[in-house]
DNA sequence: TATTGTTATACTCTATAACTATA
DNA sequence: TATAGTTATAGAGTATAACAATA
């Protein structure tokens, strides 16, 4: 006898629908990334390092909007798992240049396939063009939010 | 000289774009709700109680997917601010029936106007029909995530 | 003087187990 | 025995201040 309560007053807001959809994605994604020993955040950071060889910790932090102190433990975790390597920069000996290892590349590719399958599950019964339109709208929203930090 | 790093490998995923858009929304929304002394979660709970007079704490928790223990402090906060009242149920003396107060109604309406303005800011330069399409897609994604908890 | 990475710390959000009072 | 609300607590995730090494 679960009384059927309403949330119409919140459903009119895109933010409410965004949060609920993101919660659903997050739960499924974290479960499927766990098989690769990764979390959402470590998967993202590993992807960025793979795509930008030699990037610094502060570069990853800026790109993914993570505070530098919080970056440290993420990088530590990836390095201890031997998925990335930290090399002192020749030009600036304060900084590290981050690169993905061969082990990291294998693990990332495995995780990537899992994420692709996860996305297919979450986007079931939705046309590719509708997903593309949604992503376009989401990027405009993200862009509208910048410059107001 | 902020090197211009790439995140193309993540932009193909709807989840990544969803998270970034939600982060942008969350930051702006919390800032604009603070003027009403509310947060995202207390605004949502207050809206649900307004829309479902007499709803129980467990009903709100189920609807908004919040654990019951975490609900307690939220309800405490709203009651102490005199925005809602807790009445013992006549039929089941374990439960509370939650109702919004006149003060709560006024505060909610004020916050609602702020949220409407916030949504207009975040959705600037996006056609209403595109927002509606995005919400529809988001609801399908949310629905695809259910039944897999 | 500013910046990279670091440490310590704190605050929010979320999740679980166990209790109480009622049913 | 099961449920509504509660307490205590622990784990993420996130944010700020201050430091050492280097620029």
Judge: A14–B130 Cβ closer than 8 Å, yes or no: no
Out of B7, B15, B20, the one facing A29 most closely (by C-beta) is B15
Residue A40 within a domain: yes
Instruction: Give the pLDDT confidence score for residue A149 in this predicted structure.
Output: 46
Quick: pLDDT tens for A40-74. 999 999 999 999 999 999 999 999 999 999 999 99
Residue A7 in any domain: the answer is: no
pLDDT at B2: 62
Interface probe with A: pick from B144, B146, B147, most Cβ of A within 10 Å: B144
Q: Is residue B56 part of a domain?
A: yes
By residue range, what is the domain housing residue A42? 15-143
Distance separating alpha carbons of residues A77 and A149, to the nearest angstrom = 29
We report the CATH number of the domain holding residue A137 as 1.10.10.10
Residue A29 in this model has a pLDDT that exceeds 90: yes
Looking at the domain assignment, is residue B146 inside a domain?
no
Asked, for residue A100, whether it belongs to a domain, the answer is: yes
pLDDT reading at B101 higher than 90: yes
Q: Can you point out the beta strands (E) in chain A?
A: 84-88, 96-100
Q: How far is B64 from chain A (nearest CA, A)?
A: 9
Provide the pLDDT for residue B149.
47
Which nucleotides of chain D does any protein CB come within 7 A of? Answer: 3-9, 12-18, 21-23
Kindly state whether residue A2 falls inside one of the protein's structural domains.
no
Sign of CA dihedral B28, B31, B35, B39: positive
Q: What is the pLDDT of residue B3?
A: 76
Q: Tens digit of pLDDT for each residue in B1-38?
A: 467 899 999 999 999 999 999 999 999 999 999 999 99
Rg (alpha carbons) of chain A, rounded to whole number: 19
Residues 6+ apart with CB under 8 A from B83: B46, B100, B101, B103, B104, B107, B108
What pLDDT, on the 0 to 100 scale, is given for residue B115?
Answer: 98
Residue B7 lies inside a defined structural domain of this protein: no
Mutate one of A10, A13, A53 to test the B interface: name it (highest B CB count within 10 A): A13
Which pLDDT score, from 0 to 100, does residue B63 have?
Answer: 98
Q: Do A24 and B59 touch (CB under 8 A)?
A: no
Mean pLDDT of chain A: 96
A99-137 pLDDT tens trace = 999 999 999 999 999 999 999 999 999 999 999 999 999
pLDDT of residue B58: 98
Q: How far is CA A91 from CA A79, A88, A95, B30, B139, in A?
A: 22, 9, 9, 41, 50
Is A133:B130 a contact under the CB 8 Å cutoff?
yes
pLDDT for B111 beyond 60: yes
Number of domain units in chain B: 1
Q: Are B51 and A6 in contact (CB under 8 A)?
A: yes
CA–CA gap between residue A30 and residue B120 (Å, rounded): 32
Beta bridge partners of B97: B87
B136 falls within a domain: no
């Amino acid at each position: 006898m679960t009384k059927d309560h309403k949330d119409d007053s919140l459903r009119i807001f895109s933010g409410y629908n965004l949060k609920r959809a993101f919660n659903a994605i997050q739960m499924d994604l974290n479960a499927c990334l766990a098989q690769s020993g990764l979390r959402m955040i470590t998967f993202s950071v590993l992807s960025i390092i793979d795509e930008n060889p030699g990037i610094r910790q502060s570069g990853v932090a800026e790109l993914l909007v993570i505070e530098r102190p919080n970056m440290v433990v993420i990088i530590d975790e990836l390095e201890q798992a031997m998925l990335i390597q930290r090399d002192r920069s020749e030009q600036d000996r304060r900084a590290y240049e981050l690169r993905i290892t061969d082990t990291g590349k294998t693990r990332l590719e495995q995780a990537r396939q899992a994420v692709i399958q996860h996305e297919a599950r979450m986007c079931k019964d939705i046309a590719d063009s509708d997903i593309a339109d949604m992503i376009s709208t989401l990027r405009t929203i993200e862009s509208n939010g910048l410059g107001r930090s």
